Every structure is written in structure tokens, then in C-alpha cells.
Structure 1
Amino acid sequence: MDLVNIICVKWGTKYGADYVNKLHSMVRRNMSRPYRFVCFTDDAAGIAPGIETQALPKIGIPEFDAATGWTRYHGWLKATVFAAPLSDLKGPVLFLDVDIVITGPLDDFFDPPGAFLVIKEWDKRDETGNTSAFRFEAGAHGDLIAHLAADLQSAQSDYRNEQEFVTSYFSRKGLMGYWPKGWCVSFKRHCMHRGLMGFFRPARIPQGAKIVVFHGKPNPPDAIIGRSGKWYRRVLPVAWVDELWR
């Protein structure tokens, strides 16, 4: 069976090295096929010695290569994984955000055909995808970087974030597909009980879910202790997050 790639990106101080270490551990427990795990980062301090780390990909756009300004603080550095070449990686690449919880086998994410597969954004009716988990071929989409470099100002003003830009680009190219419904779920939308039930029952894992995405608040450590991060939302302590996010 051919080797596949699983990667993540960590920069700045929003997420610590422990997020990368736990993601790597979750991947190890949920992959049976041979794979290479790489974390692209601006600071490898604290990342476990057994995890391969590489510098953030350079794409020839000064604002990105310097990792400063809006690119640093609004998630756009994720787009650097479309560099061509992407370091020495070859073949299929599964990108995973560092703040997810893996709840099922990941092998299936390498099976569906398609040039670019991504989560369907739950809160939008258009084509927008959620880039917490997406798959592509290493080095196959350098044209996306060229398109971004050609009008960086327009990209910043026309799209709220990296995922809107990336998924719009692949959609216009006719290359975008979505993971089967239910594989990737939102902690807030699909795991937490609605209304008053949320005050009495902790969040659960929907049947068939392989990845739980934590977007906004709470983050995994918040869910473990029952801290919502929002005054209007109650989160009871979630034992399965504590069990799996390690």
C-alpha cells in the first residue's frame, strides 16, 4: 500500500505544541495504512521528538513568507500548503487542523476520488467548505498560489478568511468535492444538545463521525472542564473529549 501524507500547520501562539502532540497521537491510533506525519511550523519548541517538523512553506509572497500582518493572525498561512513543490512530499495529502478531535478511522479519507475534498461548511448555503480537514495532491495546485500572489489585496478584501478563498477557487475550477455527510461534524452544531437539554446532558459523538471540529469557542480543553467561552452557551464537562484528545 502506497505511503500517504498527513500534515498540520502551527504558527504564532494561539495553539501550543501540545495540540500538535495530541493530534499526532490521535492520528497514530486511527490510521492503519502507512503514512508520513509532518507539522509545518514557525516554532518547533515543545513538539514531541518523534514528530517530523518543517519550516512553513515559502511561496514567494512577502507577507506570507515573513509570517507577519494579517496573514499571521487570520489563518491565511494554511494556504501555503498548496506550494509547488510542497517540500519533498509526494502523493495524497490530508490536512488536519490542530484543534480537532479524531473520533474514528482516518483511512477512509484517502479513498474517495477527487482533486480537492473538504468539509461542507455547515452554516452556509453556498459552496463554501470548512478547511479543518481537506485532501489534495502534494504540489498539484501551485496555480492557487499564483492566483493569490497576483492580487493579494483583492483576496483580502473579497474573502473573510483563507477557507473562503481556497474553496471558492477550487469550486470555480470545478475541482471541489465534499466528504460524505456525517464524517466531519461540528462540536457546537452536532455534538451539543439544543435548548434546555444542553443544561442536563453533555455533548455526544454523532454516529459515524470520524472528526469533531472545534471552531470558535469552546476548544477541546474548554470542553473537557465544561467551559463554554460564551456567556450564552452552557457546556457540561465532556468525558469523551478528555479520553480521546490525548
Structure 2
Amino acid sequence: MPGASAPERHVICMKWGTKYGPEYVNRLYAMVRRHLSGDFRFVCLTDDPQGIRSEVLCLPIPPLDLPAGIPERGWTKLATFSADLHGLRGTALFLDVDVVVTGSLDDFFTQPGEFVIIHDYKRPWRVTGNSSVYRFEIGAHPDVLEYFRGHFDEIRSRFRNEQAYLSDFLHRQNKLSYWPDAWCPSFKYHSIPAWPSNYWKAPAVPPGARIVIFHGECNPPDALAGRRNRRFRHIQPATWVAEHWHE
């Protein structure tokens, strides 16, 4: 249609609590800007916008009304499925704040699928996805959040975390699909050399990687410094992190 505007694209992250400082959001924005062509809006859902760069649209996290004192299992991410997410419309690519972008993000907005997520690394025979990177149409899946709010005790008894519940819920609706395996590798499983070569070989960027996922033992500054949070699991410094994880 002549004169029609392109569909609106959003990149969304979340920051709550004190685990991650504003520098994680600022560096994530910079990486996305370097690797995503064309226009997009970068949104951070947060309880504290202080220190976040002006190019980022900071919005409050929609309330989930979770019981006080429960273990943090990522449930807060389900707020992205609000029926009205601050009036935003269009396609959203959600990224965890501690990922490292190493390649083009353009195809994440064109990959076929109604809801696309990383397939679980450790148990690929399950439907469970890793919610460090997922894409969806804003407002298209309000039932994910509505059911969660109405059945929280049942969901907690069946699912360990939000990504297990989310994957199961959308799989039952035949809406779940996965990114190509090479796009979103795990630093823990795919970058660190196998023992004992991890003592003399540095972690590498896996072939075809576009977004390297940091989960479990290391965050980007730990990887850069050659630190792991478990005894006897040595790594050499991943110097390539510094080439990407910066403003």
C-alpha cells in the first residue's frame, strides 16, 4: 500500500532489583544499535530508570502481585504479555540484559513463527525454551498472563520457572517455535572448551552466533575476567567479550 509505514519494531529488556546496574541496559542498547538495521524502539521495563541512557524508553514493570518472599524464577518476565503493555504495538524482541550480541539481529524479526524462543540447551527433547531471547506480537498472548494470575499456585507446583510454564502454555496452542540452533548459543555449554583444555584454551564465539547467552555460572564481566562461580571449573579470560559488550 503506497505510503504505508513499516510495522513497528521494539527491543524489550527488563531490569529489576539490584543484581544488574544501568550499564547492562546501556551496553545492550549499544550492541543492538550496532547490529540491527533500520528503525526500532528500545524499551526497558524497570523499577529504577536512574543511569539509563536517554535513547532507552524506560517504563514501569506491569504489576504481577506475586506473593512476598518467593524464590526468583523469572516470573516477572511474564509481564511482557500484558494485554496493554503501556500502549505499545508491533513486534517485540525480548533480550535478557546480560546477553552479548555478536552478529546481525535483522533475521530475528523475519524468522517465521508466531512465538519464537531458544530451544532448551540441556534437554532438547523437551518443549521447554530458554527465555533469554524471544519474539512475539505485543498484546497477542494476554492469556499467558491471565492464566498465570488465576492459577499461580498450580503453576508453581508444575513448573520450576517462567520459561517452562510459558513454553508449555504456547506449545499446547501450537504457537511455539525455536530459533535456529546456531543463533543463540550458550556461553556455558558452547563457548567454554571441554575439560581439560579449558585450562589453556580461551572461550570462543561459537560459529554462527548472533547472541551469546550467559546463564548459570557467568555474566559478561566474569567471562571477561576469567571467573566462574563454581570451584574447579576454570576458564581463561574471554577477551572477545570486550569487543562487543561496550557502549
Question: Paired residue for 1:88?
Answer: 87
Residue in 1 that maps onto 2:147: 147
1:89-135: CA deviation from partner (whole Å, max 9, x where unpaired): 11111000001000100011011122100000111121100000000
Which residue of structure 2 aligns with residue 196 of structure 1?
A: 196
Among 53, 58, 61, the alignment partner of 1:53 is 58
Q: Which amino acid aligns with 1:27?
A: V
| Alignment match, 1:169 | 169
The aligned residue for residue 35 of structure 1 is 40
Task: Give me the whole-angstrom Cα distance separating, in 2, the residues matched to 1:239 and 1:106.
Answer: 22
Conservation of the 8 A alpha-carbon contact between 1:3 and 1:33: no
User: In the aligned structure 2, how far is the partner of 1:112 from the partner of 1:75?
Assistant: 25
Within 2, Cα distance between the matches of 1:110 and 1:186? 21
**Residue type at the aligned position of 1:173:** Q
**Which residue of the partner structure matches residue 98 of structure 2?**
99
DSSP-derived class of the 2:41 partner: strand
1:1-246 residue pairs with structure 2 within 5 A? 1-58=6-63, 61-63=64-66, 68-70=68-70, 73-124=72-123, 125-246=125-246
Per-residue deviation at 1:69?
3.2
Per-residue displacement from partner, 1:128-179 (whole Å, max 9, x unpaired)? 0000000000001111111112211111111101111111111111100000
The alignment partner of 1:185 has SS state of coil
AA in 1 matched with 2:157? S
In 2, Cα distance between equivalents of 1:62 and 1:20: 25
Partners in 2 of 1:219 and 1:90 — Cα distance? 31
Question: Per-residue displacement from partner, 1:186-206 (whole Å, max 9, x unpaired)?
Answer: 001111110111111101111
Following the alignment from structure 1 to structure 2, what is the Cα–Cα distance between the partners of residues 107 and 50? 20
Q: What's the CA shift for 1:75?
A: 1.4
Give the match's secondary structure for 1:184: coil
Conserved 8 A contact 1:2-1:34: no
Q: Please, what TM-score do these two structures have when normalized by structure 1?
A: 0.94
Compute the displacement of 1:2 (Å).
3.1
Residue 47 of structure 1 and its aligned partner are, at CA, apart by: 1.2
Q: CA deviation at 1:74?
A: 2.4
Instruction: Report the 3-state secondary structure (helix = DSSP H, G, I; strand = E; otherwise coil) of the residue aligned with 2:66.
Output: helix
RMSD (Å) for aligned C-alpha atoms: 1.3
Instruction: List runs of 5+ in structure 1 lacking aligned partners.
Output: none
Question: Conserved in 1, the CA contact under 8 Å of 2:13 and 2:95?
Answer: yes
Identity %: 43
SS in 1 for 2:185: strand
* Residue identity in the other structure for 2:93: L
> How far is 1:39 from its partner?
0.1
- Name the count of aligned residue pairs: 240
Tell me whether 1-10 or 195-204 shows the greater mean CA deviation: 1-10
SS of match in other structure, 2:133: strand
Structure 2 residue matching 1:118: 3-state secondary structure: strand
**Partner amino acid, structure 2, of 1:80:** A
SS of equivalent to 1:206: coil
Q: Which structure is higher in helix share?
A: 1
- Distance, in Å, in 1 between the alignment partners of 2:49 and 2:70 is 22
2:3 matched residue in structure 1: none
User: Match of 1:195, SS?
Assistant: coil
